[in-house]
Structure 1
Amino acid sequence: MMKKGETYIIGEIGQNHNGSVDIAKLIVELVARPVHEDVFGLDLKPMNAVKMTRRDLDEELTPTQMNRIYDNANSFGHTYGEHRAFLELDDDAHFEVYKYAKEKGLDFVETLCAKKCLSMLKLFTPDYLKVASRDLTNLPLLAAMAETRIPMILSTGMAGKKELDDAIEVITHYHNEISILHCVSQYPTHPDNLNLNTITYLRKNYGQYHIGFSDHTIGISAPSIAVGMGAEIIEKHITIDRHMKGTDQPGSLGPDGVNRMVRDIRMVERWLGTEDLYIDKCVSAAKEKLERSIATNKQLYAGDVIKEEDLHMLSPGDGFKWAQKDEVVGKVVAMDIPKNEIIYPKMLK
């Protein structure tokens, strides 16, 4: 479950399992892999959860659409209905993947696309129920999901404020365990359309809920930036091989991309730190070596009275700072000080 200060990262399988439980398990294994940062020797927490999607094909599309010819390189059937049926894993298969995810220490998130899909909850209870962007306005489905009182995650990919508010109103009749993900339902999302500042808007206007980002851009930069902007949840499509057959495969992250994205997000968590300005103890050595101190710009002799024009600044930084020059100017030199040497207290009377 979500923890304060830790980004909740969801690896979305979607249909990238290509109708195979074994492939789904391989993706689960990828999600659970440890992440290591080499330079500082850091073992970083991997993804937190894996997500699958369950459809009821009787409530998916009209017969006309389901029976249309679907003849392309990514098709798994002659018609679109046959294609969708090939990719659909049944309740028992979802349960098998759920158990495998739990063995790997992962949470399990389930997107349910129809009320009949709630039948799988007789087999297991996901940690979260996800509402797909297209179903944010499917208020009867939202009510049925909310009635389970399982925490819910909403994607706003096709929604404005009214659609989101309507959805929240329905869900909060049952519970307030809601997360909201900024999302743009364009695959892949064009850079000009991403509008990550929506995350800031959601945090200001819906701050009582967890706010996150469901990413459909190409690459790994947007999730890290989103975390820097305050996103608590990141969702990203993943696959074991971006060259496998399937429409979502090219826009998903493969093993290397998953490793790099999670590494970067976990590093951002560390980078953010606290809202303060201070001298960290880790810079003390560099500060002493590189910062400048008051030094002589000519030879000074014992008994000389130091004038400001006798001084300039040199490294190292273990002497007087310019802000302390009143502790130097006007003082009597206790011993000879060569040109271009740092002035220390013991050198003054």
Structure 2
Amino acid sequence: MSDEPGIESAGRSTETHSSTNGGKVRELTIGSTEISDRSAAYVIAEIGHNHGGDLEAAKKLFTAAAEAGASAVKLQKRDNRQLFTKEMLEKPYSGRNSYGATYGEHREALEFGESEYRELAAFAADLDIDFFTTAFDNPSLDFIVRLGLPAIKIASGDLTNSPLLEAAGRTGIPVIVSSGGANLSDVVTAVGVLDGVGARFALLQCTATYPAQAEQLNLQVIDTYRRLFPDTVIGYSGHDVLATVPVAAYALGARIVERHFTLDKGAPGSDHHFSQTPAEMAAMVEDLATARAALGSPVKRQIPEEAPALAKMSKTLVIQGSHTAGTIVEHDMLAAKTSGRPGIRPAALDEVLGARLARNVDDEHVLRLSDLVDASL
């Protein structure tokens, strides 16, 4: 009679692997990075216009983001005359966050042109960090294509802008879409538009409040998106300032994490106060890596490192009293005790009862299968 695995405490379990979405694989490649359920979080440092229109400030932000471990840095691109009405552009715009007397002047002061973008693209390449931008209009989309940037971001406000989504999808460049302020029907429509043109894209859960509060985040939408769109990489675009949220989002299946990024939370500009500093982003990147390691495998199994603790804590069936060979094993002959030795687990008690002892045994003998005859194990 052999000591069968799974019966004695020294037994092993066999690990099997299966797909979590019916055999389909959700993945998106940006630059040289594959983003999938298997991957680490793809962290986007959303600089937006936190550079204040200063090219050197943008480079400092790029450098700090790369040093913090971000996967990508992102700006925002607008063709202001195409995007805004004349009335909006001429509207007086004053205050601490203003870079011009009118809203149009303010927006133009923050906008980089092609020469700046090309310089920043080369700078990012030297840092070995991806660089792309949000397209707010069709001329900006054409701008991205012309520069050959590795991804296109579509902001929450354009989730329902089907013509822009369709145009972005037709470029063949990976598209990342935020869904702040949307209803599920809006999201389903947007995904349908992108699928309809064969786009490669990711969908980000987002809440369009600045900063967002914990009770507004609805991170469980990440799971909803994963169930509804099994081929799509899902992520989280955060306007919150809560350190635990990106880890929770990753644990729920978000594989892209976007956070606004600054060198100074008190600097002029509307985004700095809810942006991460380099130290905060570095801590987030480390926490996300820890979360990935901790999630591990979906297969429940004993790992080798648990053996010492199991040897100390696990119980096995122990004989009470001395008995001779041929004795039928009865309930009062057995106890569950910790011995530090391999033996039969108490869960197998019913299969042991009624068997006969194959040899003489003494008090507190740790019972093994080889000690029994006609056991039903």
- TM-score, normalised to structure 1, is 0.82
Determine which of 53, 62, 67 is the counterpart of 1:28.
62
Query: Partner residue of 1:152?
Result: 175
Query: Partner residue of 2:347?
Result: 323
Amino acid at match of 1:120: F
* DSSP-derived class of the 1:250 partner: helix
Amino acid at match of 1:148: T
Q: Is the 8 A contact 1:111 1:131 kept in 2?
A: yes
* DSSP-derived class of the 2:43 partner: strand
* DSSP-derived class of the 2:274 partner: coil
In 1, Cα distance between equivalents of 2:80 and 2:340:
71
Query: Partner residue of 2:3?
Result: none
The residue correspondences of 1:1-349 to structure 2 (distance < 5 A) are 1=30, 2-4=34-36, 5-6=38-39, 7-33=41-67, 46-121=69-144, 124-294=147-317, 309=332, 312-320=335-343, 321-323=345-347, 326=352, 343=366
Number of residue pairs matched?
333
Amino acid at match of 2:122: K
Unaligned runs of 5+ in 2: 1-29, 373-377
Q: Which moved more, 1:46-55 or 1:314-323?
A: 314-323
Query: Cα–Cα, structure 1 residues 151 and 302, in superposed 2: closer, same or farther, change >3 Å?
Result: closer
Q: CA deviation at 1:54?
A: 0.6
Amino acid at match of 2:113: D
Q: Which moved more, 1:220-229 or 1:304-313?
A: 304-313
Query: Cα–Cα, structure 1 residues 335 and 312, in superposed 2: closer, same or farther, change >3 Å?
Result: closer
Q: Which moved more, 1:251-260 or 1:85-94?
A: 85-94
Q: 1:242-290, CA deviations, whole angstroms, 9 ceiling, x for partnerless residues?
A: 2322221111111221112111212222222222221111211221123
Query: Cα–Cα, structure 1 residues 167 and 324, in superposed 2: closer, same or farther, change >3 Å?
Result: closer
Q: Is the 8 A contact 2:319 2:362 kept in 1?
A: no
Q: CA deviation at 1:235?
A: 1.2
Query: Cα–Cα, structure 1 residues 323 and 147, in superposed 2: closer, same or farther, change >3 Å?
Result: closer
Q: 1:171-229, CA deviations, whole angstroms, 9 ceiling, x for partnerless residues?
A: 44543212111111111123222111211221122222222111111222222111111
Query: Cα–Cα, structure 1 residues 249 and 342, in superposed 2: closer, same or farther, change >3 Å?
Result: farther
Determine which structure has greater relative contact order: mean sequence separation of CA pairs < 8 Å that are 6+ residues apart, divided by chain length. 2
In 1, Cα distance between equivalents of 2:348 and 2:227:
45
Q: Is the 8 A contact 1:13 1:50 kept in 2?
A: yes
In 2, Cα distance between equivalents of 1:55 and 1:218:
26
* DSSP-derived class of the 1:3 partner: strand
Q: Is the 8 A contact 1:188 1:216 kept in 2?
A: yes
Q: CA deviation at 1:14?
A: 0.9
In 1, Cα distance between equivalents of 2:207 and 2:251:
19
- TM-score, normalised to structure 2, is 0.77
Q: Is the 8 A contact 1:307 1:330 kept in 2?
A: no
In 1, Cα distance between equivalents of 2:58 and 2:339:
59
Query: Cα–Cα, structure 1 residues 294 and 112, in superposed 2: closer, same or farther, change >3 Å?
Result: same
Q: Is the 8 A contact 2:35 2:255 kept in 1?
A: no
Amino acid at match of 1:24: A
In 2, Cα distance between equivalents of 1:157 and 1:104:
31
Q: CA deviation at 1:98?
A: 1.7
Q: Is the 8 A contact 1:10 1:47 kept in 2?
A: yes
Query: Cα–Cα, structure 1 residues 48 and 308, in superposed 2: closer, same or farther, change >3 Å?
Result: same
* DSSP-derived class of the 1:258 partner: helix
Amino acid at match of 1:69: P
Q: CA RMSD in A?
A: 3.1
Q: CA deviation at 1:313?
A: 4.3
Amino acid at match of 2:282: N
Q: Which moved more, 1:219-228 or 1:117-126?
A: 117-126
Q: Is the 8 A contact 1:182 1:213 kept in 2?
A: yes
Amino acid at match of 2:248: I
Q: Is the 8 A contact 1:289 1:315 kept in 2?
A: yes
* DSSP-derived class of the 2:53 partner: coil
Query: Partner residue of 2:18?
Result: none
Q: CA deviation at 1:303?
A: 6.8
Q: Is the 8 A contact 2:235 2:254 kept in 1?
A: yes
Q: Is the 8 A contact 2:331 2:353 kept in 1?
A: no
Q: CA deviation at 1:121?
A: 3.7
Amino acid at match of 1:54: K
